[in-house]
Amino acid sequence: MTVVLENLGKRFGAGAPVLDSVNATIAQGEFVALLGASGCGKSTLLNIIAGLERPTAGALEVPADGAAFMFQDAALYPWLTARANIELALKLRGVPKAERRARAVELLDLVHLGEAADKRPHELSGGMRQRVALARALSQDRQVLLMDEPFAALDAITRDLLHEELTRIWRETGRTIIFVTHNVREAVRLGQRVLLLSSRPGRVVAEWSVPDATKHDAAAAAALTAELTSRLRQEIARHAK
């Protein structure tokens, strides 16, 4: 099942449009990075795909079961252990009590946090909390996973480690991932495709394919990162005028 956006638009009240004529098709199992300057409407677009906001123009097609969402803030319940945070999400999904513990442990093992199942959020590093949040998002068992700058607050080393983890999990689970970022290097490292959103009103103004060969060739990855950075700067300058 694909995600299809057709001439999608969003306006809040009588203000200027946040999104205008957004067109994109994302195939099942694809990893797409959505790149753009701060305030260009990336998060609003994710909210529309997730069903948290309604578009004011155009149409969209998403899988019938909707999409799972992972935010920048892990937003774990501090009084619950890592496993209990995931068990609660499973409970809300209607998973029987007898199955919840085993499923939560499986998900923590998937994100390489099985040994931290009984730790509470304050006992975990920022990167570990985000891995618990990822396991919780995966517990929703939806084909599409929306990620809104989930690693932006982490240090560079932790972010690099989580890039590797996320790529592994994506390949293992076959999820369709739409990953919002304003970090060009992150977009190139993670996405099979990168879509560039213009500054307001946001619309898809360019896209790039990122073959695995490019990701594993430092010079090619650096060249593509430089190209995307230049194009992003053009959009930011255009908006400033």
Question: Domain for residue 56, yes or no?
Answer: no
Question: Domain for residue 26, yes or no?
Answer: no
Beta strands in the chain (DSSP E): 3-10, 19-26, 31-35, 57-61, 67-70, 144-148, 176-181, 193-197, 204-209
Question: Domain for residue 119, yes or no?
Answer: yes
Tokens of 160: 């690099």
* Model pLDDT for residues 33-69, shown as the tens digit of each residue: 999 887 778 889 999 999 889 999 999 999 888 899 9
Question: Domain for residue 222, yes or no?
Answer: no
Q: How many domains does the chain have?
A: 1
Question: Domain for residue 220, yes or no?
Answer: no
Question: Domain for residue 186, yes or no?
Answer: no
Q: Is the pLDDT of residue 184 over 90?
A: yes
Q: How far apart are CA 192 and CA 63, in angstroms?
A: 20
Of the two residues 39 and 202, the one the predictor is more confident about is 202
Q: Whole domain around residue 122: which residue ranges?
A: 74-141
Question: Domain for residue 109, yes or no?
Answer: yes
Q: Is the pLDDT of residue 26 over 90?
A: yes
Q: Please check whether residue 70 is in contact with residue 131, taking contact to mean a CB–CB distance below 8 angstroms.
A: no
* Model pLDDT for residues 211-231, shown as the tens digit of each residue: 999 999 999 999 999 999 999
* Model pLDDT for residues 144-176, shown as the tens digit of each residue: 999 999 888 888 888 888 999 899 989 999 999
The pLDDT assigned to 98 comes to: 85
Q: How far apart are CA 59 and CA 200, in angstroms?
A: 19
What does pTM read for this prediction?
0.92
Question: Domain for residue 206, yes or no?
Answer: no
Q: How far apart are CA 178 and CA 32, in angstroms?
A: 5
